[in-house]
Amino acid sequence: MKEMEYTVEAGGPLLPFLLERVRGSRNHVKSLLTRGQVAVDGKTVTRHDHPLTPGQRVAVLAAPRPAAPFPVLYEDGRILVVDKSAGLLSMASDREKLRTAYRMATDYVRQSDPRGRVFIVHRLDRDTSGVLLFARDEETKRAFQDQWDALVRRRGYLAVVEGRPPREADTVRTLLRENAAHKVYSVRSGGKEAVTHYRTVQSGSRYTLLEVDIDTGRKNQIRAHLSELGCPVAGDKTYGAAADPLGRLCLHAHELRLTDPFTGEERVFRAEPPRGFRSLTRPGR
């Protein structure tokens, strides 16, 4: 959080003054006081009821940034947005409870606030890297989850695929079903609708880089659709890939664009493409 400074225009207690100006929950704002991150006219103040008088300057000081186990794309009092690595679960499963993005994000926020928490808003598949958003309090979690489909403007992915799709750009719309082996495939009836848009960014002799957008968030949707087009995601042996050139699934959630449920502002979070995506698909390679 950057340092912010405000001028007092009307007298009153400190806490309500901060609540009107600082982004985040009430608990977050109170924790700023507890940790000594608020100063009035240059002097640290921790009392919630500290009286303010017109003309005073109130500063909210930046906390020392703790070390993060992943790239932090954005954070404030309400949300934490990270670049999740491939091979990391978003949240715990029956087999894996400790090494998850959720657990690592919790440990990260507790470095600066021992009572800090994060809440799952959405998920990425274990083998998909990229933008993952957590809420910092239950109110924010509910605000995002209750309106997720309405709030999300874009879920953009980059995929390196084997070969080339049949068209430079197209939309795939099918019904998807999951079998007993947890593999997803298209069916004529009895499945859930999945819509995937793609366009070609660049092509090499063996691999193609695609920009992919999804209107629906079905499990393994992109992987299933691209495989059925005859161009499976590189490294995706489950869905028919022949090779594993980067030692990982070559699918990356590079952009999440949504509306802030509290302010109505558009928020855009981006994660840089993983190393190797462009070199694999360089023309002439």
| Per-residue confidence (pLDDT) for residue 1, from 0 to 100 | 47
Give yes or no for residue 7 having a pLDDT over 60. yes
Indicate the domain borders of the chain. 4-60, 65-146, 149-285
Residues 6+ apart with CB under 8 A from 40: 14, 50, 52, 56, 57, 58, 59
Give yes or no for residue 69 having a pLDDT over 70. yes
CATH architecture of 149-285: 2-Layer Sandwich (3.30)
Give yes or no for residue 247 having a pLDDT over 70. yes
Average pLDDT of span 187-208: 96
pLDDT band of residue 6 (cuts 50, 70, 90) is very high
In this structure, is the dihedral angle defined by the CA atoms of residues 211, 217, 223 and 224, taken in order, positive or negative?
negative
Predicted TM-score of the model (pTM) = 0.76
Out of 41, 94, 125, 146, pick the active-site residue.
125
For domain 4-60, is the CATH number 3.30.1360.120?
Answer: no
Output the average pLDDT for the chain: 92
Give yes or no for residue 172 having a pLDDT over 60. yes
In this structure, is the dihedral angle defined by the CA atoms of residues 232, 238, 242 and 245, taken in order, positive or negative?
positive
| Per-residue confidence (pLDDT) for residue 66, from 0 to 100 | 67
Instruction: Report the distance separating Cα 58 and Cα 233, nearest Å.
Output: 53
Q: Measuring CA to CA, how many Å separate 17 from each of 26, 34, 39, 283? A: 12, 16, 13, 58
Matching fold, domains 65-146 and 149-285: yes
Give yes or no for residue 97 having a pLDDT over 90. no
Instruction: Report the distance separating Cα 8 and Cα 56, nearest Å.
Output: 5
Does the annotation count 125 as an active-site position?
yes
Six token digits for residue 101: 């993005």
Instruction: Report the distance separating Cα 191 and Cα 279, nearest Å.
Output: 37
- Domain spanning 65-146, CATH class: alpha beta
